Amino acid sequence: MSGSRIAVIAAAGAFSAAAAFGADEIASYEVEGRRSGFLYMTEETRALQEDAFLNPGMFAVEEGEALWNLVEGDEGESCASCHEDAAETMRGVAARYPVFDEKRGGLVNLELRINEMRTSYMGAEPYPYESDELLALTTYVANQSRGVPMAVEIDGPAAPFFEQGRTFYETRRGQLDLACGHCHDRHPGDMLRGDVLSEGHVNGFPIFRMLWSSMGSRHRMFEWCNTSLRAEPYPLGSEEYLALELYVAWRGRGLPIETPAVRR
């Protein structure tokens, strides 16, 4: 891994990585009193996130860029052959997701949209949820929206899903019998054992989480919080987590996309 990293930096990578972290791309980590998880991290972790050369999530961005350009499937297409320069065509997309999708009659998030591109347009197999490939491509696409404020649509056909997500968020569950807000609304900034609780926002995802030593999606985080409460989780990509994702993205409205964030 570190070998290819060095190679990329030695080649053209140095310039593009620096460009992805333009100094003023993230104007503020706090919007109308809502504070990104970034502000609950230590100085060291923040510095790691903001340094494009040290941020371990940049491996995923680079891997995602390679997948973006890779021709796969029966149609002989790559993402790039239709969407060309991601910096232009994907800018702002991640900030709007998840969205209501007419064809499905339900919500779709960035991961599922990318997989749909593979199955419907490329004649390729979908990536398994939480596979390195899907995480990398999602990270690459979301990274194009760095600094763009999250703004999901919650009216119209999305409204019932939004309400379903709100109910999920507010429902006590598991042997510990806690709802999301018991930790993330009432106790941000307080220590939960060795962790400083944050407000539980999703603007940094996919994140590099040190505890996992890997990238993780929004749904993996929901699964982790659920099982920490000794509650039965839902499958990643499930309708329940999509609804929760919509509600949680709205809760963090205005916060800038900061993918790939680094978290403890």
Partner 1 sequence: MDKRLAIVAALAALLAAGPALAQIAAYEIVEGAIPQPLTDSPGNPARGRQIVRDLDKATCLICHPMPIPEEPNHGQIGPSLTGVGARYTPGELRLRLVDPKALNPDTVMPSYHRGEDLYRVLDRFENKPIYSAQEVEDVVAYLASLDRQ
**How far apart (Å, rounded) are the C-alpha atoms in residues 182 and 188?**
10
Burial class (CB in 10 A: 0-12, 13-18, 19+), 205: buried
**DSSP 8-state secondary structure symbol assigned to residue 260:** S
Nearest CB to ligand HEC, comparing residues 6 and 120: 120
Nearest one of 142, 113, 145 to 129, comparing CA atoms: 113
Nearest CB to partner 1, comparing residues 85 and 195: 195
The active-site residue out of 79, 180, 183, 225 is 225
In one-letter notation, the amino acid at residue 151 is: A
Tell whether residue 221 is a contact of ligand HEC (CB under 6 A): yes
Residue nearest to ligand HEC (CB): 37
**DSSP 8-state secondary structure symbol assigned to residue 170:** H
Taking CB under 6 A as the rule, which mask of x and - marks residues 31-70 in contact with ligand HEC? ------x---------------------------------
Residue 82 designated active-site: no
Cα–Cα–Cα angle for 80, 128, 103, rounded to 5 degrees: 70
Residues in touch with ligand HEC (CB under 6 A): 37, 77, 79, 81-83, 93, 113-114, 117-118, 121-122, 137, 141, 169, 178, 180, 182-184, 192, 195, 197-198, 200-202, 204, 207, 221-222, 225-226, 229, 244, 248, 263
The set of catalytic residues is 225
